[in-house]
């Protein structure tokens, strides 16, 4: 499942050996409806690969990653058009749910299935 950057040329990072061991890699949304290409209802998709995460105008580059019993602890350098910050993030995945916990709070996401997104786009 390739992830394209603004130039549409990003390498296929979701299929690397590292990604196989990192269950947090994927495309995530606040709910199943937001995964649909037809109806995102104002929700942004969150794309996470082995190097970082992005949602809308916010980008986070993973500076370090450490696997834990419950998932991954990540130090991320984040920015948007208004500010820059360092986030200490705990990522955990259970079934198709991702929990992103940082100093700014906790967000739970649902994994978007590529087939679901493609079928609804046609």
Domain count, the chain: 1
Burial class (CB in 10 A: 0-12, 13-18, 19+), 24: buried
Q: What is the pLDDT of residue 19?
A: 43
- d(C-alpha 5, C-alpha 70), whole Å: 30
Which percentage of the chain shows pLDDT scores above 90?
57
Q: For residue range 30-46, what is the model confidence (pLDDT) as tens digits? A: 888 888 765 555 678 99
What's the mean per-residue pLDDT of the chain?
A: 80
CATH number of the structural domain spanning residue 101: 2.40.128
Would 5 be classed as within a structural domain? Answer: no
Contacts (Cβ under 8 Å, ≥6 apart) of 75: 62, 63, 64, 86, 87, 88, 89
Mean pLDDT on 2-8: 44
Q: For residue range 76-119, what is the model confidence (pLDDT) as tens digits? A: 999 999 999 999 999 999 989 999 999 999 999 999 986 554 44
Would 6 be classed as within a structural domain? Answer: no
**SS percent in the chain: helix, strand, coil, step 5:** 15, 45, 40
Opening angle at CA 64, ends 10 and 111, nearest 5: 55
Would 4 be classed as within a structural domain? Answer: no
Q: What is the pLDDT of residue 30?
A: 87
Would 90 be classed as within a structural domain? Answer: yes
Q: What is the pLDDT of residue 122?
A: 44
Instruction: Output 29 or 44, whichever has higher pLDDT.
Output: 29
Would 3 be classed as within a structural domain? Answer: no
Would 73 be classed as within a structural domain? Answer: yes
**Is the pTM value of this prediction over 0.75?**
no
Q: In terms of residue numbers, what domain contains 74?
A: 13-121
């Amino acid at each position: 499942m390739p992830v394209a950057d603004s130039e549409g040329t990003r390498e296929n990072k979701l299929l690397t050996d590292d990604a196989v061991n990192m269950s947090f890699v994927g495309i995530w949304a606040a709910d199943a409806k937001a995964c649909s290409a037809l109806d995102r209802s104002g929700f942004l998709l969150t794309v996470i690969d082995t190097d970082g995460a992005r949602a809308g105008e916010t980008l986070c580059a993973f500076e370090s990653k450490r696997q834990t019993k419950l998932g991954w602890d990540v130090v991320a350098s984040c920015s948007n058009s208004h500010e820059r910050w360092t986030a200490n993030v705990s990522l955990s995945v259970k079934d198709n749910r991702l929990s992103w916990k940082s100093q700014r709070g906790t967000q739970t996401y649902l994994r978007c299935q590529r087939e679901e997104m493609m079928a609804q786009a046609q």
